[in-house]
Amino acid sequence: MGVNFLRGGRQVKRSRLCELLLGLLFALASSGAEAKLAEFPFGISSTTSANKRYTLEASVCQPGYGQCDRKLWLVDHRTNRRRLFLEISRTVRAAWAPHRSVLFVNDDESSSDSFAFLYFPDRKKRVDLGGVIDHVYPADRRYEKDSHHYPNGIRWVKSNSLIVRRFGHFDHPAARGDEFSVCYRVNTSGTVRRLKQSRQEKDVCEDR
């Protein structure tokens, strides 16, 4: 028989106490874990939010092997509803925030453009990350003009902030230089801080 501990007039068995401690240690160990990017349609077939309420899913496609359903579906496990989330033009990459049902999505729509947005399933709200950045840094709209322009969510820093990188090259560079790479830290509330600018398209965002 397990030894009991008295806590506030209630008895807690040692086995149950061990379970609680192990759960706490696991949560602490995983709290800093970086959510992996799910790539569709040529990657994993689904990715689920940290709270297990939502799953983003698609049919599995194999490169070079015929056609498949190029659609993403969002499943709400609380209501058992499944609805169309996005039609895939080329590739889509997505990652859920830790501890929240919020995700960023990179939609590589064409060879010259991509789009990045935040999606809040609980509110059925979508926010254009490029638009949020341009609102705070209006001069950075220049990267969208006469260029191959790719804004991408890179990784979650915390459950309410992520690193966003916009990169590409100008089609007619003139005095602006040819390539560019700019890194930002974006909060889900809409605040933005520019981290770094470079004239090298392959220059990556450092850990912050």
Secondary structure of 45-95 as H, E, C letters: CEEECCCCCEEEECCCCCCCCCCCCCEEEEEECCCCEEEEEEECCCEEEEE
Claim to verify: residue 7 and residue 87 sit in the same structural domain: no
pLDDT of residue 23: 40
Claim to verify: residue 79 and residue 107 sit in the same structural domain: yes
Q: Decide if 46 contacts 58 (C-beta within 8 A).
A: yes
Claim to verify: residue 20 and residue 36 sit in the same structural domain: no
Q: Report pTM.
A: 0.73
Range of the domain at 11: 1-30
- Domain membership of residue 206 (yes or no) is no
The alpha carbon torsion through 110, 115, 116, 117 (nearest 10 deg) reads -130
pLDDT of residue 66: 58
Claim to verify: residue 93 and residue 120 sit in the same structural domain: yes
- Number of folded domains that form the chain: 2
Per-10-residue mean pLDDT for the chain, 208 residues long? Answer: 36 44 37 65 83 88 64 93 90 92 89 85 93 92 79 92 89 68 93 86 72
Claim to verify: residue 22 and residue 81 sit in the same structural domain: no
pLDDT of residue 18: 42
Q: Decide if 185 contacts 166 (C-beta within 8 A).
A: no
Claim to verify: residue 157 and residue 181 sit in the same structural domain: yes
pLDDT of residue 35: 57
**Cβ of 17: how many Cβ atoms within 10 Å?**
15
- Domain membership of residue 94 (yes or no) is yes
Claim to verify: residue 146 and residue 177 sit in the same structural domain: yes
pLDDT of residue 61: 64
pLDDT of residue 99: 87
